[in-house]
Structure 1
Amino acid sequence: MAVLELMSIGTSTGVVLPKEVLSRLNVSKGDSLYLVEAPDGTYRLTPYDPDLADKMAKAEDILRRYRNTLHTLAK
Structure 2
Amino acid sequence: MKTIIHKLDDGSEALILPRELLDSLNLQVGDQLQIIETDDGVILGPVLDNFERQMSAARDVMDKYSVGLQKLAK
Percent identity reads 29
Aligned partner of 2:30 in structure 1 is 30
For the residues of structure 2 that align with 1:27 and 1:48, how far apart are their CA atoms?
Answer: 10
Q: In 2, distance between residues paired with 1:18 and 1:41?
A: 21
**Alpha-carbon distance between aligned partners in 1 of 2:6 and 2:30, rounded to the nearest angstrom:** 19
Cα offsets for 1:22-58 (capped at 9, x unmatched) = 00111011111111012x3421011126xx7xxxxxx
For structure 2, list consecutive stretches of 5 or more residues without a partner in the other structure.
Answer: 50-74
CA distance in 2, matches of 1:36, 1:5: 19
2:14 is matched with: 14
The separation in 1 between residues aligned to 2:42 and 2:16, in whole angstroms, is 17
Amino acid at match of 1:30: G
Following TM superposition, where does structure 1 have runs of at least 4 consecutive aligned residues deviating by more than 4 angstroms? none
> Is the partner of 1:23 in helix, strand or coil?
helix
Gaps of 5+ in 1: 53-75
CA distance in 2, matches of 1:32, 1:25: 11
Instruction: Give the structure with higher Rg (CA).
Output: 1
